[in-house]
Amino acid sequence: MIKYSATVASAGTEFSPYLFKGNMIKTIEFCAENGFDAVELHIRKADDIDTSSIDKVCQKHNIKISTIGTGLGYTLDGLFLTDNDDIKRGQAIARLKEHIDIASILHCGVIIGSMRGRIPEGHKQDKERAMKNYSESLLLLADYAEKKGVTILLEPVNRYENNFHNSSIEMRDFIKKLGSNKIKILLDTFHMNIEEHGLTGMYDSIKECKDFLGHMHFADSNRRRPGAGHIDFAGILKTLNEINYDGYAAFEYLPWPEPEIASVEGLKYIKSLNISG
């Protein structure tokens, strides 16, 4: 049975696709009261949150933390793994290790999406070096994550936001080549709607990635709640059931018209499809 998670961020702009921002304790309580199985925390740095307090409130309300999002380290601090500056790349690795430490306490996965960075334009040598840095950094982080009992989730991001590993198959093949069982793929329906070939392409991609699939993000084609755009979530849910996916689907979309309505209506719509179990 698929489990549902709501996103909450410690920071971000009005255009950031997080349902809630700010008080994470209140968000966890709200989500527990309104039918969510878990909450996905998007944090900039480890000291953004009181891990002990979050763990306690989750236990009190019988709700989990599904995942830790790391993108704020890129958008606010400019840290990323393809960086050819050794010092800054080292800072990115150190930041991600902090996220892994938190995840080990909260028993959840760690997402690497924006913090992958971009591949530099121009000289071939710079591009090759960036990819080498990226691969080596990920393997280093995977080794650290294995010791902590944490899974890393790599997210394909659409071509308008990133310039490599945009499609699910590109990312799957890259993960397969890395060869670490602590690195899985995160598929986001918003990005898939841009990069995969039509609706059936989204279904096919899920099936092609089934052995590597560790997490899902749900957002409709306009990055609003499921049901507010044209993505066929009934087909998505049917496909996930066909591959026996029993992980989390986190709602990562714009909080329109407001967080409480967007989250509850999104969950209500998905459950109304009566396909997810």
Q: Which residues are catalytic?
A: 155, 252
Q: What is the DSSP letter of 163?
A: S
The Cα 8–Cα 36 span in angstroms is 13
Question: In what helix (H) or strand (E) does residue 235 lie, and over which residues does it extend?
Answer: helix 233-242
DSSP code per residue over 51-92: HHHHHHHHHHHT-EEEEEE-THHHHTT---TT-S-HHHHHHH
Q: How many CB atoms lie within 10 A of CB 1?
A: 8
Q: Mind spelling out the 3-state secondary structure of 115-137?
A: HHCCCCCCCHHHHHHHHHHHHHH
- Is residue 24 packed enough to be buried (19+ CB in 10 Å), middle (13-18) or exposed (0-12)? buried
Check whether the bond before 257 is cis (ω within 30° of 0).
Answer: yes
| Cα distance between residue 209 and residue 28, in whole Å | 30
Task: Name the 3-class secondary structure at 153.
Answer: strand
Alpha carbon distance 2, 93 (integer Å) = 31
Which two structure tokens, joined as six digits, stand for 214? 């560790």
Residue 220 is given by DSSP the state -
Nearest to 38 by CA among 72, 71, 8: 8
